[in-house]
Amino acid sequence: MFQAAWLEQPSHRAISRDYLPADLAPHLKATGIDRTVFVQTQHDLAENRWVLGLADGQDFIAGVVGWIDLASPECEEQLLEFRKHPKACGIRHVTHDEPDVDFIVRPEVLRGLKTLEKHRVPFDLLFFIEHLPHAATVADHCPELPLVIDHLAKPKIKARSMADWEPHFRAAAKRPNVYCKLSGMVTEADWQHWKAADLKPYVDVALECFGPERLMFGTDWPVCELAGSYEEVYGAMDELLGGLSGPERERIFGGTAQEFYGLRV
């Protein structure tokens, strides 16, 4: 299968194994979720082909966010090949693993993002806090490109810090083509002792900035299992969004993703 280098870290070996659709299905049933989107983990076109093949046999995989080499002269060719599959719905690059903090705003990468914009293919922004100022830059450069910030750009929840995250997060939210995933928070909290209340300040800011119309729920499964089960992550978000109306909750738990990725469900 495909193995990310960071899984070899001692702290991550608990999830250093293969995860297949059959592993996910019981969690979906337990939480009443009927569709999901796979998001890439590797900078490898072969992963696209493999996961799209898995998606062919699983109705609950509604979409696949894959990878292409944004800096390559063959970027558009790779994109068009990926998009031949009806479940191909977006592109992501693991930006936070790039040695260059300014990778996403390199001229050749911005050209690749303009290619996504041309074809109206959404892009996932996988950032750490230090990359977050670039969200507004990319959004301004590609105003017709739907963008989504994964994992709220990984704020320092365990340290209860917001100062270096919130201003740039709010700036990104002012761009109407930027969305945000309520995902990946438990692994930024205290893995052993987190509770929903620890996530609340960050969720509240996201709700204020983006509103339900530009927020979508995600579990970051199986990475979330370092800190909590799929069911625990879902339960925490269900609790934190308990004060919203039914239509607002439906938007965050499905409608936003369906619209953003153009899912055929």
What topology is assigned to 92-261 in CATH? TIM Barrel (3.20.20)
pLDDT band at 5 (very low <50, low <70, confident <90, very high): low
**pLDDT at residue 44 greater than cutoff 90:** yes
SS3 46: helix
d(C-alpha 5, C-alpha 84), whole Å: 30
Which residues are CB-contacts of 159 (< 8 A; sequence separation ≥ 6)? none
Looking at the DSSP bridge assignments, the partners of residue 63 are: 37
* 86-145 confidence digits (pLDDT tens): 999 999 999 999 999 999 999 999 999 999 999 999 999 999 999 999 999 999 999 999
Q: Which sign does the torsion angle of CA 173, 176, 182, 187 carry?
A: negative
> How high is the pLDDT of residue 73?
98
The overall average pLDDT reported for the chain is 96
**258 has a pLDDT exceeding 80:** yes
Q: Grade residue 168 by pLDDT with cuts at 50, 70 and 90.
A: very high
CA distance 156 to 145: 28
Q: What is the DSSP string of 100-156?
A: -TTGGGSHHHHHHHHHHHHHT--EEE---GGGTHHHHHHHHHSTTS-EEEGGGG---
Give the start-to-end residue ranges of the domains of the chain.
92-261
**With 80 as the cut, is the pLDDT of residue 181 above it?**
yes
The model's pLDDT over 54-90, given as tens digits with 9 standing for 90+, comes to 999 999 999 999 999 999 999 999 999 999 999 999 9
Q: What is the pTM of this model?
A: 0.96
Q: How confident is the model at residue 16 (pLDDT cuts 50, 70, 90)?
A: confident
